[in-house]
Chains A and B, each alone.
Chain A
Amino acid sequence: MKLAYWMYTGPAHIGTLRIASSFKNVHAIMHAPLGDDYFNVMQSMLERERNFTPVTASIVDRHVLAQGSKEKVIDNITRKDKEENPDLVILTPTCTSSILQEDLANFVTRASYNTKADVLLADVNHYRVNELQAADKTLAQIVQFYLQKEYKNIPHINKTKTPSVNIIGGFTLGFHNQHDLIELKKLFTELNIDINLIIPEGINVHQIKDLPQAWFNIVPYRETGLKTAEYLKKYFNMPYIDTTPMGLEQITQFIKEIENILSKNGIQSNFDEYINQQNTFVSQAAWFSRSVDCQNLIGKRAVVFGDATHAANFAKILHNEMGIEVICAGTYCKHDAEWFEKEVSNFCQQILITDDFNVVGNYIAENEPDAIFGTQMERHIGKRMNIPCGVISSPVHIQNFPLSYKPFLGYEGSNQIADLIYNSFTLGMEDHLLEIFGGHDTNQKFGDTNISSTQIVWSKQANEELNKIPGFVRNKVKKKTEEYASKNQIREITLEIMYAAVRFVTNKKLIKFLTKI
């Protein structure tokens, strides 16, 4: 048992449902107690979905507990088959069914005798995988099922005449996924590469058989899609790219990898000119990083936390493209820790692999970065500590399902990201300026804290200096200085003592504030 107040990823069945509901005409039936269909609420609220979420429950209640589901699951499957006429029904286990140990596979087999739809049992175990892993698994499972059905012993596959690609990933409730997909489509159109299929978003399962016709696959989000890409590579010899085209450097690398794949297929293309064009004229991010605005950001300290894809790539952008010091990058995707560490270890001082938000919160509290880039949780941590935060990754609230076009990938994405970064920092800076120029009643605050201290007196000069320090570090400076003084048995704090104290605790940030003023 563990005490848990908040979690970054949901239970496994949510992942399965996100995949199922991304396809067209696929219906998921959860084997679950009443109340576990909360997914429908999220889908309908967050995505503001106009259609009924194709998820129903085969309810587990006392009767089921006592006597087993018997025909109930089968009846529910065949009923849905008649009512909705889906191509595929996915029976989705939950934590409850994981321990009931009913033979769901048997139900699936029996139900499929009487349905027009195909029926599959999602192969996910609640206690072994989380939401993202389950999504990855389910997508691969569905793809495998339809490809095995179509290609008994992998014959020669006819590739499309001109270069084409499958985009694997991008699904219901994904962070800015819809916008990213539009941006990716645009990118490929400009590179003159056809999109063969985007999976799972919006296709129906009968199109899956066409997947192998593409020349290669891309997996923009490594959380969901890698398993499918690996399967396609192994059995259909399809190369894949798992670089995320997020940020200018990454986009360039992404396009270079495409060049590489094309040349292996006998097509020599050079996209340098294109990349140049985009960097100069479409994306403002490259120019922005050279502009005076961005100079002001150099050396600022940031903490990044999120899923592996977004956190790693965002950290790279901050460090490589903006000159921001990423003091810590972290992810809650523990299962992908090795990759994550490899990606960020050469420029981050600290890497956090954890799904405990307290660990993240404590790190932020101790290190007081200038800005945070994280999930909804970090946004609230930032709020509490008065540190600005840009949201870059799930889990998110409804405000992160914006109506306007806000991709994170591709060239337009780089603009959006630059705005996000810049706004977070200027917001923070404006706040501090307000503090410095008396936006708050500094004297009173100081007076309040002074009462608490014992015996130690502050010289007039030191006192004035202390008052100039922005509010949110002032108390810390005061405390540290007084600690230092009492340790050294000093009664009066002068300006010199104050500097000495701060240098003694070697908090870079405090020194910076003191020397700047």
Chain B
Amino acid sequence: MNMLKTENLTFECETGNYHTFCPISCVSWLYQKIEDSFFLVIGTKTCGYFLQNAMGVMIFAEPRYAMAELEEGDISAQLNDYQELKRLCLEIKTDRNPSVIFWIGTCTTEIIKMDLEGIAPKLEKELNVPIVVARANGLDYAFTQGEDTVLSAMAQRCPKISIQNHKQAPLIIFGSLPESTANQLSQELTKQGISISGWLPERKYTQLPEISEGSYVVGVNPFLSRTATTLMRRKKAKLIRAPFPIGPDGTRAWIEKICSVYQIEPKGLEEREEKIWNNLSPYLEIVKNKSVFFMGDNLLEISLARFLARCGMTIYEIGIPYMDKRFQSAELELLEKTCLEKQHFLPKIVEKPDNYNQIERIYDLGPDLVITGMAHANPLEARNINTKWSVEFTFAQIHGFGNAGEILKLVTRPLQRKSMRSSSFV
């Protein structure tokens, strides 16, 4: 077990009055990733309205998603949940014929205690379609944690094979990434002589990876702590705690950690990282000595802050919805190490932040860049504070060596505009 050597970072916890997306938003990227799936969100008009607006134009492309909109009769239990769900799922099966139907539980199903986990196995047998239940609601989780609940439910469906004669213990990577990014990461590992026996999730539900006892698992995103726990407890897999492959520093550390587990001496990584940094130098010129403030809404914050600190930025505050110090232990260590090496002060990590207080602090500190949600972006811009919309980091490709430029493109865009503004309008 890793020791937590993070006593120098300060952790605070505020009121939890902050803006973020509801975790059901994970539907929007997961239905695209898992091509043979159908996502049924069992909730109210509130959930539907959010998804419809957050998905934007995707909603017109006949997505493989729908709301099971609860009506008054469902709430007062005049209608039979089982019958109702059966009717809707039959319809979905006839129209779309998916290989799996995900039921996304919401706040309402929690409050009225709808027994989704109980109904699903029965209906699954009756309809002959796997039904996976994930409770991704706003009572318990924030934004990207939605994916965590879905993957952790999927993890339990991974076929468990008995110990086989592998040369090396199998390695399964968990976290949903766009196909090309996933391929890039796989290649990096292959280069080091490590073969990947599966991803959770794969492109198809029917290709769920087999996970045997003693397999190694490693995450690619910092918000996957439940999935990690499930893999360890239920599948008896061994978790590799590594920093996340975000930024060239993170990517290298991620690969090195995996190599060390397999007792492989990594080859050419240092030069590889070096080269990437060199390519980034035009961006680095822009960000050097600039300060950044993370308001916090998607759990990528620690990794991004660590990368930006390495780029030479000063980190004022890292707001974050939820901080799993164990799952993120390696990442936290790397953050601390980076700040010390760069001779920056150690940033304050604020869990469950309070947006109102944060804005006061932003006024006080006057950071060069605030990474925040759309609710605050325009108002802050109107007050001459540069912002970057945080959600873009969730949808852009930011993993691996090749995508470090993408992150900096996002970060530098508003900073460059500032110089444009001052030269032509002031």
Contacts and interface: CB of A to CB of B under 8 A. Distances in A.
Contacts of A292: none
A96 B47 CA distance: 11
B354 to A, nearest CB: 10
B139 A1 contact: no
Contacts of B376: 44, 52
B19 A40 contact: yes
A34 B138 contact: yes
A194 interface: no
Contacts of B396: none
Nearest to A95: B44
Contact of A3 (B18, B20, B68): B68
B17 interface: yes
B139 A65 contact: yes
Contacts of A202: none
Contact of B50 (A38, A49, A52, A380): A38
Interface stretch (B1-9, B71-79, B238-246, B262-270): B71-79
B92 to A, nearest CB: 8
A127 interface: yes
Contact of A10 (B16, B45, B143, B374): B45
Nearest to A33: B138
B373 interface: yes
Contacts of A96: 46, 107-108, 111
Contact of B46 (A42, A45, A61, A94): A94
Contact of A2 (B57, B69, B75, B359): B69
B138 A36 contact: yes
B379 A50 contact: yes
A44 B21 contact: no
A1 B70 contact: yes
**Leading 8 A-B pairs by shortest Cβ distance:** A35-B22, A33-B138, A40-B375, A50-B382, A35-B138, A95-B44, A11-B45, A380-B60
Contacts of A42: 53
B85 interface: yes
Interface string A63-99: 0010000000000100000010000000000111001
A322 to B, nearest CB: 29
A1 B45 contact: no
Interface in A421-459: none
Interface in B33-78: 42, 44-46, 48-50, 52-54, 56-57, 59-60, 63, 65-72, 74-75
Contact of B110 (A43, A65, A126): A65
A35 B23 CA distance: 8
B22 A95 contact: no
A45 B57 CA distance: 15
B375 A41 contact: yes
Contacts of B379: 44, 49-53
A230 interface: no
B117 interface: no
Given A33-B107, A37-B375, A126 B44 contact: yes
Contacts of B60: 377, 380
A6 interface: yes
A52 B377 CA distance: 9
Contacts of B59: 5-6
Contacts of A44: 374-379
Interface of B: 16-23, 42, 44-46, 48-50, 52-54, 56-57, 59-60, 63, 65-72, 74-75, 79, 84-85, 87-88, 91-92, 107-108, 110-112, 137-140, 142-143, 356, 359, 373-379, 382
Interface string A10-40: 1101100000000000000000111111101
B139 A4 contact: no
A13 B46 contact: yes
A53 B375 contact: yes
A359 to B, nearest CB: 16
A61 B92 CA distance: 32
A117 B92 CA distance: 50
Contacts of B71: 1-2, 127
A134 to B, nearest CB: 11
Interface residues of A, number: 51
B382 to A, nearest CB: 4
A37 B49 CA distance: 12
Contact of A7 (B45, B70, B92): B45
A5 B65 CA distance: 7
Contact of B111 (A50, A100, A128): A100
B111 A99 contact: yes
B66 A83 contact: no
29 contacts: A1-B84, A1-B87, A2-B68, A3-B66, A3-B88, A4-B68, A5-B66, A6-B59, A7-B48, A7-B52, A13-B46, A33-B137, A34-B18, A36-B46, A38-B49, A38-B50, A38-B53, A41-B53, A44-B377, A50-B382, A52-B379, A60-B139, A61-B140, A62-B139, A65-B110, A95-B45, A95-B46, A126-B46, A377-B60
A1 B17 contact: no
Nearest to B24: A35
A53 B380 CA distance: 12
B378 A59 contact: no
Contacts of A65: 110-111, 139
Contacts of B42: 1
Nearest to B357: A83
B19 A37 contact: yes
A146 to B, nearest CB: 27
B59 to A, nearest CB: 6
A36 B54 CA distance: 12
A208 B44 CA distance: 34
A409 interface: no
A48 interface: yes
Contacts of A33: 22, 107, 137-139
A256 to B, nearest CB: 40
A37 B138 CA distance: 11
B382 A11 contact: no
| Residue from the set B53, B142, B374, B377 with the largest chain A CB neighbour count within 10 Å | B53
